[in-house]
Amino acid sequence: MNWIVRNLWLVPVLPVLAAGISALAKRKSRVLAASLAIGSMSLSFLLSVWAFAHVLALRNSGQPSLQVFNFRWFQFGNEWLSLGWMLDPLTAVMLVMVTFVGLLIFIYSVGYMEHDDNFMRFFCFLALFAGAMLGVIISNNLLLLFMCWEIVGLTSYLLIGFWFSNPKAAAAGKKAFIVTRIGDVLFFLGIVWLYAQSGTLLFYDNGAGFLEHSAISHLLTQTTTTGICVATGIALLIFCGAVGKSGQFPLHVWLPDAMEGPTPVSALIHAATMVAAGVFLVARVYPLMSAHTGLADVITTSTALQAVTWVGSFTALFGAVIAVAQYDIKRILAYSTVSQLGYMMMGLGVGGVSVGMFHLITHAFFKSLLFLGAGSVIHGCSGEQDIRKMGGLGKLMPVTFVTYAIGMLALCGFPLFFSGFWSKDEILHAAHTWNISQAPFYMGAFAALLTAFYMSRQVFYVFAGTSRLAEEHHDHAHAADTSSHHGSGSPHESPAVMTVPLMILSAFALLLGFLGTPAWPWFQSFLEDAPVSVNFGAFLTGGMLPVMLSSSVIVLLGLTLGWWFFGRKPIESADAPDNFGKLSPSIFTALGNALYFDAIYGATFVKLTTLLSRISDWLDRWVWNGAVQTVTYTVLGFAHLDNFLDTNVVNSGFDEGCDTVSRSGKLLSMLQAGRIQGYLKIVAGALVVFTIFLLWKAKI
């Protein structure tokens, strides 16, 4: 257990520390914030590289590449909840990728956010985000992962809603957080269920972790009352978390709206890291996912993985279809991210961890490249995001154009040189060899076609043709306070601090592909701990070649179509209808509105919740309160009745009684008139009566 593994926790904590310091710092100085963020990021990058080297060294020396460090967090009942972090090839790769891309984006955003007055707060959130993301990557405990996962969600909320004065941004932030929260809740249930079943949340705890064989086998044996195997149930719930975070089909609505945030944010979060977290999570718990009751030798994909595949492939197709009809430069990229994530999920589902992860790494680079490129375009066009208002920027911003083109070609998977081709090809190959059904392969292929088509559409719109920006100098203010306008009206090349990261990223977009070519599958073997050997023959074996050929044909077809519709005669004016849209305007507008999913959700779920809330409020006010009111009114009624009885019946009766008594009193007092003779008469009378009585009695 050498130093790096023990102190791996420094990687996420450094950025978080930087974020904390910059938040608490009294003086609002831009230099401090930027330097802190970038400094901490670079430190983390170095540590990650060290960790990567350490893993390589372990692999070469044949030792198991997995190292774990656990510590006890708190005790409840007789057991301790212990957390921990781990270092394995997957972690190492992800660490390097995230820190490197993050660093580049930090540098880029220094330039991009130069004029923004909330500069410090931006970098503080970015650093916090990076810390949380790194936390997710290294955590060895599903709960720790979940905690960092939630903080990532929080930071994405804060960053999306960074320009909070813009109500759309605030709403987008809220939407993002809530939709991801839906996924997280299901993920949380999965965690709780897992904890209940396996008794531990640690991935690897030298034998006791739930990803290890004993726990997995135990989970397999359990079946819930509804008949599905517990392992699949938990896996599906965890996958829901991934769906939420990675914007898969049902929970994808927040990703396009997240573009309201500043472009570096979109680049960092919605291209490279955060969305990738979902895929990373599936990769991390792959053993659980792929656990199936079938025999060990026959590779039968578990129901969980099948679900992943289907959702992935459908999202890929779905994202691509919508991306075609988008006008906002960043929305197109957002939908393309959605489809690429679908590809990754499909890759994981059919090909296993290495296939998915390879595409994830390559995608991270060229997608962040594209986003930063779009950022510099927007920066150049003084905040304009609608591609119909751009055009002809190729000549005005050559570096951006070139890097952007490289990124676009990598994304489409232009044959041979671009990394996208290799990683996508791996997935298509795996999908092709999938024994369940070929549908994912065809959906993947068609999505690849559409990807090529809409990317070319976007490039031609932005860079080709004449610049439509001149017509409307003062387009509607992008945001009241974003002061990214330059003095001069015409678009111009972004400063070096923005273009240099673009170049670096474009270089990677090109070279990275060669790591994972079928010939020399270093990357895959690195992840699967298998020995690697150069074997050019691999191209021919296993049906790799036909898949490669078919994919390159599809890409070329897509590009020509794009050129055909948009390259030939780019639209003249901003409000001219889209050439492709002219074919079928109704479908085009539908696709423009993302198949109205927002409206559907709004109509269904949101309406349902508001309705339910109104019902419960009504229930509260009227039903429960009503019951209490009725009780009080009945009591009041009794009180009045009693009062009535009291005054009329009892009182008057009593008064009568009193009168009669006083009257008789007066009568009696007459006797006491004070005249002595009167008394004497009475005595005499009494005497008479008495004697008569005695005599009468004596007589009888």
Partner 1 sequence: MTISFFIIAAITIVGTAAAMSLKNLVHCVLSLTLGLVGLALLFLLLGAQFVGFTQILVYVGAVAILAVFAIMMTRSAEPMTNLPPASFRLSGVLIAATVFAVLAWAISSATRSLPSQSSQPEVSVNQIGVALMHQFVLPLEVIGVLLTAALVGAAILAMDETGASR
Partner 2 sequence: MITFPWISTLTIVPVVGAIVLLAFGSRNKVLVRWIALAFSFLALVLTLALWHQFNPLADGYQFQELHAWIPALNAEYRVGIDGLGLLMLLLTSIVVPIGMLASWQIQQRVSLYFALVLLLQACLVGTFTALNFFHWFIYWELGLIPAFFLIKLWGGPKSAKAAMQFLVYTMVGSIAMLMSFLAIYLATKTFDFTELAHLAQSGKLMPAVVSTLGWHLFTPAHTAMVIFLGVFLGFAVKVPLIPFHTWLPSAYSEAPTGTTILLTGAMSKMGLYGFLRIVLPLFGVQMQQVLTPLLWLAVATVVLSAYAALAQTDLKRIFAYSSINHLGYCMLGIFAVVKFTGGDAALTAQKFAAMNGVYLQMFNHGLTAATVFWFIAMLEKRSGGLRGLNDFGGLRKAMPVFTGLMGIALFSSLGLPGLNGFIGEFLIFKGSFPLVTWATASSAIGLLLTAVFILGVLQRVFYGPLGEKWVHLPDLTLGERLTLVPLIGLMFALGLYPQFILGVVNHTAIQMALNLRNF
Partner 3 sequence: MSPLSGYLLLSALLFSIGLAGALTRRNAILVLIGIELMLNAANLNFIAFWRYGPNPAALTGVMFTIFSISVAAAEAAVGLSIILAVYRHSKSINLDAMNSMKG
Nearest by Cα to 278 from 287, 265, 290, 269: 269
Q: Does 624 bind partner 2 (CB under 8 A)?
A: yes
Q: Does 677 bind partner 3 (CB under 8 A)?
A: yes
Binding-site partner at residue 615 among partner 3, partner 2, partner 1, none, CB < 5 to 8 Å by type: partner 2
Q: Does 684 bind partner 1 (CB under 8 A)?
A: yes
Residue from 540, 619, 673, 692 touching partner 1 (CB under 8 A): that is 692
Q: Does 185 bind partner 2 (CB under 8 A)?
A: yes
* Number of residues located near partner 3, criterion CB under 8 A: 12
Contacts with partner 2 in 15-44 (CB under 8 A)?
A: 23
Query: Whole-angstrom Cα distance, residue 561 to residue 288?
Result: 43
Q: How far is the CB of 622 from partner 2 (least distance, A)?
A: 10
Site string for partner 3, 530-569 (x = CB under 8 A): ----------------------------------------
For residue 202, the cross-strand partners are: 141
Q: Does 662 bind partner 3 (CB under 8 A)?
A: no
Contacts with partner 2 in 194-233 (CB under 8 A)?
A: 195-196, 199
- The backbone torsions φ and ψ at residue 139, rounded to the nearest 5 degrees and listed phi first, read -70, 140
Contacts with partner 1 in 644-683 (CB under 8 A)?
A: 677, 681
User: Can you list the pairs that 205-214 forms with residues at least 24 positions away whose Cβ atoms lie under 8 Å?
Assistant: 205/68, 205/70, 205/82, 205/84, 205/140, 206/68, 209/68, 209/140, 210/142, 210/288, 211/285, 211/287, 211/288
Binding-site partner at residue 692 among partner 3, partner 2, partner 1, none, CB < 5 to 8 Å by type: partner 1
Greatest extent of the chain over all pairs of C-alpha atoms, in Å: 159
Q: Does 680 bind partner 3 (CB under 8 A)?
A: yes
Residue from 667, 671, 698, 700 touching partner 3 (CB under 8 A): that is 671
Q: How far is the CB of 651 from partner 3 (least distance, A)?
A: 30
Angle at 34 between CA 29 and CA 38, to 5 degrees: 155
Residue with smaller CB distance to partner 3, 537 or 665:
665
Roughly what angle, to the nearest 10 degrees, separates helices 439-463 and 329-351? 160
Q: Does 619 bind partner 2 (CB under 8 A)?
A: yes
Roughly what angle, to the nearest 10 degrees, separates helices 544-562 and 439-463? 30
Q: How far is CA 532 from CA 87, 516, 527, 535, 566, in A?
A: 21, 11, 11, 9, 44
Q: Residue 298: CB partners within 8 Å, gap ≥ 6? A: none
Residue with smaller CB distance to partner 3, 296 or 667:
667
Q: Are 153 and 94 in contact (CB under 8 A)?
A: no
Residue from 174, 218, 388, 492 touching partner 2 (CB under 8 A): that is 174
* Number of residues located near partner 2, criterion CB under 8 A: 53
Q: Does 695 bind partner 1 (CB under 8 A)?
A: yes
DSSP letter assigned to residue 258: G
Residue from 26, 27, 476, 675 touching partner 3 (CB under 8 A): that is 675
CB atoms within 10 A of CB 300: 15
Q: Does 10 bind partner 2 (CB under 8 A)?
A: no
Q: Residue 79: CB partners within 8 Å, gap ≥ 6? A: none
Residue from 553, 583, 608, 684 touching partner 3 (CB under 8 A): that is 684
Residue from 610, 630, 652, 691 touching partner 2 (CB under 8 A): that is 610
Q: How far is CA 308 from the centre of its chain?
A: 17
Q: Are 474 and 383 in contact (CB under 8 A)?
A: no
Q: Residue 521: CB partners within 8 Å, gap ≥ 6? A: 354, 532, 538
Stretch that binds partner 1, among 325-333, 380-388, 572-580, 690-698 (CB under 8 A): 690-698
Contact residues: partner 3, CB under 8 A:
668-669, 671-677, 680-681, 684
Question: Which residues contact partner 2 by CB under 8 A?
Answer: 23, 73-79, 143, 146-148, 150-151, 154, 157, 161, 164-165, 167, 169-171, 173-174, 177-178, 181-182, 185-186, 188-189, 192-193, 195-196, 199, 609-610, 612-617, 619-621, 624-625, 628, 632
